[in-house]
Amino acid sequence: MSNTEFPGWHGTTIIGVRKGNQVVIAGDGQVSLGPTVIKGTARKVRRLSPGGNDVVVGFAGSTADAFTLLERLEAKLEATPGQLARASVELAKDWRTDKYLQKLEAMLIVTDGEELLIITGAGDVLEPEHGVAAIGSGGNFALAAARGLQETEMDAESIARKAMSIASDICVYTNGNLTVEIISK
């Protein structure tokens, strides 16, 4: 199967974990071009602070496309302060209907410490079950690991780090150089 059949799912791993009063988003640092590792220390998790409200975003897919979406999300958050779900739905609607945005190949995990959402170019804004969201080529490995670890005494950060470690051991497009952002509410 070619990469175009699964846009936004190839070449990285991003996980969001909610446990207790913490939400953590972690992402690996590997950038691949086909079978070649181009960079191992990329930052695919960012903290935005529109209007003084912290939001953490992790992205998988095309970097340029993701940055375009991050700018749009930040504008939506400034227009609807403190309303992550509403801003996410507005972004997803634009992404689905705008001819320019429709071509963007990326996926986002976003949190404000209360909500944890996945936003896709198909117009989806999904709140995952069990307090875990994962995207990217190693996303299913990290998701399975984190779901299993949710039942332990580990906190959200420890779960995210361990799940990413497991994913990086299995997925050749994921490495262990992590960027981790935490929001506590």
Residue numbers annotated as active site: 12
- CA distances 177 to 29, 41, 57, 61, 111, Å, are 5, 6, 17, 17, 21
Q: Which helix (H) or strand (E) holds 78?
A: helix 63-79
In angstroms, rounded to a whole number, what is the distance separating the alpha carbons of residues 109 and 134? 8
Structure token pair of residue 39: 């960079």
- CA distances 9 to 15, 19, 117, 164, Å, are 13, 25, 16, 16
Judge contact between 45 and 57, C-beta under 8 A: yes
